[in-house]
Structure formats: C-alpha cells, structure tokens
Amino acid sequence: MSEGEEEVNYTSVVFKAGNNPPPAAKRGEETVYSELKVQNETKNKDSAGHRRFQHLSCCLGILCVILLGGIIGVCVYQNANLTRDIQNLEDQLCNLTEAYNVSESNNKNLSAGVKELETQNQELKTRNQELETEKNNLTQKIHNMTTNWNELSISRAQWSIDEYCKQPGIDKCKACQKGWLLTEPSCYAYNNAETANRKTWKEARKDCKGKNSDLAVAHNPDEKEAISTNSFGFNGFWIGLRVVNKKWKWVDGSDLTDSSWIAAPVDGLCAVLYKGRDIWSSVSCDKPQQWICQQKALSLSV
C-alpha cells in the first residue's frame, strides 16, 4: 500500500434465516466477502512487517551513528595521545641535544685540561730532574763539608789535647786549659780587659764561643758562688743572663729560678756580676764590660 492511500477494511456479513440453507446467490456473496477478508488480512500483515523493518532500519541507523561517533571519539583520543607523545619525544630530543652539547663542551674543556696537565707534568718532570741534580750537588757538598769537619774536629781535638796536656813543666794533663781556673765541674776564664777592649754582651758571648765555651751560668747557689769567688776589681763582668720576652733567661735556654738574685726583668737589659755583691746588677746589653767565660772541665778519671 502506497503512502496517502487510506486503509480499507472489509467486513463479511452473512444473513441466516432459521435453519434453511441460503440460496445459491447468497452463497456466492459469502464467497466474495470471504476472499476480500483474506486479502485484507494479508495486507495488514504486510503493513506490520514493513513497519517492523522500518523500526529495525532506524535502530540500525542509530547504532551505526553511535558506532561512527565512538570510532571518531577513539580516533580523536588516540590522535591527542599521539600528539602528546610526539611533543614529549620532541622535548626529550631537545633535552638530549642540549645534554649532548654540554657533554661536547665538557669534553673539549677536559681535553684542554688534559693537555694543560700534561704540560704541567712535563714541567714538573723537568723541575724534578733539576732538583735531583741540585740534591746530588748538595749531597756532594755535605760529604765534602763532613770530611772537612771531621778533619777540623781531629785538629781541634789535637789542639785541645795540646792545650790541656802540653804545658811547660807539667807531666800530666790538667782539667782546665792554661789561663782558666777550675771550680768543679767547670773551668772559668775572667776576661778583665782594659776599658778600650771591653765588649758588649753579644760581643763578649762571641768571644767565649770562639774559645769553645759560653758566658758563665749559675743554676744554683753553689754555681753562683763559684763564678763570684775568683772575680776581682770594681768593674762588673758579663755573665750568661739576659732578658728575653720580659723574662730572665740563661744562654742555655733555661729560666732564672731565683728572682731574688736580680731586679725585675726589663727588655734590653743583661746581668753583670760585681765583686763582693750578692745581688747581680741589670745593665744595658750595649754597655761595654768585662766578661766571664765558662766551659766544662776535662775529666781526668781513668
């Protein structure tokens, strides 16, 4: 049935009159109506099937649209992910490129540093060879100086023996050299020089050093008494005591233990011994004075 056509329903009408069979004409009408009824039912069935097909087609169309939308959505999502992955890869590539450039720059710097170190190493090797040569030269000089010192020591020993032993009219060696006075365990030389030949404290010590001795020291009352016993005259004698860093110190490096022997220390002052005085005087180290040298006495024990 085409669109726009009205659906026509036919109804079969059968007239019955008691139990009498219908005449032949009526039976023909009944047949005609029966055929029309069958055709109408067939058409109704075709129309319902056609509607069902339309519904099914519509559902399929909607399903296709949904599937197409889903496919498009998936494609768009995957495209977004791919775009993001591509951007990440590009960022990683940029980072790797930058890292490579930094590494290349560091490599160049390291190469330059290695070359500089090699140059310095070569310079150090050259310097080491020079130092080795200097060391060998110094070793040789030390050997020569040692030899000369040994020869000088032998000569000084012989001189000492001569000084102690070879004295006129003496058959055996003495504890002190000629001109030195013995007060066990030391020998003392009192240098009572004239005014013009007197020396400052440093000059006096230098003179004693040249005689294998030093300015006299006294660590206890016995030694203090020993250096004053043989002193003479009214002029003072330098002894080995001076002020160092505001402290009285002996020439052997020890401190003065009895502060009652001399006045309080003042920088630039040295100790002077006067005959008959129990207390030492503190005088400017630059003032010329007489001096007392001291050395250990020769041991004569056998």
Count of other CB atoms within 10 angstroms of residue 226: 20
What is the pLDDT, as a whole number, of residue 160?
A: 57
Tokens of 210: 């040249």
- Triad 120, 126, 131: Cα angle to 5°: 120
What is the pLDDT, as a whole number, of residue 170?
A: 59
Higher-scoring residue by pLDDT: 191, 158: 191
DSSP 188-245: EEEE---GGG-B-HHHHHHHHHHTT-EE---SSHHHHHHHHHT--SSS-EEEEEEEET
Classified as helix, coil or strand, 167 is: coil
pTM: 0.46
Q: Is the pLDDT of residue 189 over 50?
A: yes
Domain formed by 181-296, architecture: Roll (3.10)
Using alpha carbons, select from 285, 286, 198 the residue that is nearest to residue 235.
Answer: 198
Q: How confident is the model at residue 5 (pLDDT cuts 50, 70, 90)?
A: very low
Higher-scoring residue by pLDDT: 179, 165: 179
Q: Is the pLDDT of residue 172 over 80?
A: no
pLDDT in tens, 240-255: 999 999 999 999 999 9
DSSP state of 145: H
Classified as helix, coil or strand, 54 is: helix
What is the pLDDT, as a whole number, of residue 1?
A: 44
What is the pLDDT, as a whole number, of residue 248?
A: 95
**Strand 181-183 and strand 186-191: pairing?**
antiparallel
Average pLDDT on 88-109 reads 87
pLDDT in tens, 207-266: 999 988 999 999 999 899 888 887 777 788 999 999 999 999 999 999 999 889 999 999
- CA pair distance 181, 165, nearest whole angstrom: 15
- 27 phi and psi angles, rounded to 5 deg: -65, -30
Q: How confident is the model at residue 169 (pLDDT cuts 50, 70, 90)?
A: low
What is the pLDDT, as a whole number, of residue 22?
A: 54
Q: How confident is the model at residue 112 (pLDDT cuts 50, 70, 90)?
A: confident
State whether the Cα torsion 103-104-109-110 is positive or negative: positive
What is the pLDDT, as a whole number, of residue 268?
A: 94
Higher-scoring residue by pLDDT: 130, 10: 130
- Owner of token pair 């050299």: 177
